[in-house]
């Protein structure tokens, strides 16, 4: 098994003008390719923060994150986000000015995937997450929350890469759609050798994972390995 991400005593402090919030304290763990990880924990325990650091959106206040042995601080994190790690955000974060299909195609456009291929891949993934093609030309604010969530999932999967980070990917879905998405994410890890990391409250989703971590007030513990 090949280790792709390793966290070493990672701490993170949100610093605003008026106050400091310690969101993570000395988190150490590692993630391997080909496995599905679940991170569970109470609201406000630091799960999304940890995921953002894994996505390279910021660097730890203290401690180190290694990607394939390379310190993330020293890395070109823009390139890492564009080509290696895809994120499904808790708040979806779709482009409000792009249609459903354009949203899925956008990361591929940044990667200079030819237009035709990007379109085909977008349609393929939109179909995989179970969205009817009547929605492809709609704007994000014209579709439901669950549909938006699936667009975000399709976008992350279509972008390719080695790491998929998902923040509550099934939070807005019914149990049938939830199964479809969980199967897709598991397949991604087991068949395409991704490291899939899912933040979830959902027992069923956690049960499908190979490894389960628990987050408690900014600290991480192993729940099941």
Tell me whether residue 44 or residue 145 sits nearer to ligand ATP (CB atom). 44
Chain centroid offset of residue 40 CA: 14
For residue 144, give Cα distances in angstroms to 148, 155, 176. Answer: 6, 16, 16
Is residue 23 a contact residue for ligand ATP (CB under 6 A)? yes
Helix (H, G, I), strand (E, B) or coil at 221: strand
Note whether 15 and 198 are within 8 A (CB). no
C-alpha pair distances (Å), 207 with each of 38, 119, 201: 9, 34, 11
142 binds other proteins (CB under 8 A): no
Q: Which of 25, 45, 48, 99 binds Mg ion (CB under 5 A)?
A: 48
Q: Which of 48, 99, 148, 149 is close enough to bind ligand ATP by CB under 6 A?
A: 48
From 52-60, 123-131, 177-185, 187-195, span contacting other proteins (CB under 8 A): 52-60
The answer to the question of residue 58 lying near ligand ATP (CB under 6 A) is: no
Smallest gap from Cβ 21 to ligand ATP, in A, equals: 4
Q: How far is the CB of 5 from other proteins (least distance, A)?
A: 17
Q: Which of 40, 49, 101, 202 binds ligand ATP (CB under 6 A)?
A: 49
Number of residues that bind Mg ion (CB under 5 A): 2
Q: According to the binding rule CB under 6 A, does residue 202 interact with ligand ATP? A: no
d(CA 214, CA 121): 35
Segment near other proteins (CB under 8 A), from 77-85, 171-179, 183-191, 195-203? 77-85
Stretch 80-119 residues interacting with ligand ATP (CB under 6 A)? 90
> Which of other proteins, Mg ion, ligand ATP, none lies near 87, with the C-beta cut-off 5 to 8 A by kind?
other proteins
Interface with other proteins, residue 82, by CB under 8 A: yes
Residues that bind ligand ATP (rule: CB under 6 A) add up to a total of 13
Round to whole Å and give the CA distance between 145 and 123: 19
The Cα–Cα gap between 142 and 14 comes to 34
Of 1, 36, 30, nearest in space to 197 by CA: 36
Of residues 51, 21, 20, 22, the one with CA closest to residue 37? 51
DSSP 202: -
Query: Contact positions toward ligand ATP, by CB under 6 A?
Result: 14, 16, 21, 23, 41, 43-49, 90
């Amino acid at each position: 098994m090949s280790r792709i991400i390793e966290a070493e005593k990672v701490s993170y402090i949100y610093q605003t003008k008026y106050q400091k919030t310690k969101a993570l304290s000395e988190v150490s763990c590692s993630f391997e390719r080909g496995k599905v990880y679940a991170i569970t924990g109470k609201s406000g325990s630091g799960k999304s923060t940890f995921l953002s650091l894994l996505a390279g959106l910021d660097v730890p206040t203290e401690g180190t994150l290694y990607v394939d042995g390379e310190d993330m601080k020293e890395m070109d994190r823009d390139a890492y986000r564009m080509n290696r790690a895809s994120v499904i955000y808790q708040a979806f974060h779709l482009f409000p000015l792009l249609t459903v299909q354009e949203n899925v195609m956008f990361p591929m456009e940044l990667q200079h995937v030819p237009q035709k291929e990007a379109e085909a891949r977008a349609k393929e993934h939109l179909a995989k997450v179970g969205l009817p093609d009547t929605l492809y030309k709609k704007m994000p604010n014209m579709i439901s929350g669950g549909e938006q969530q699936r667009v975000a999932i399709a976008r992350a999967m279509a972008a390719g890469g080695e790491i998929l980070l998902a923040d509550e990917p099934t939070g807005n879905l019914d149990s049938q759609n939830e199964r479809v998405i969980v199967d897709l994410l598991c397949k991604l890890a087991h068949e395409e050798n991704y490291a899939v990391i899912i933040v979830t409250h959902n027992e069923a989703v956690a049960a499908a994972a190979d490894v389960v971590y628990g987050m408690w007030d900014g600290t991480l513990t192993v729940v099941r390995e």
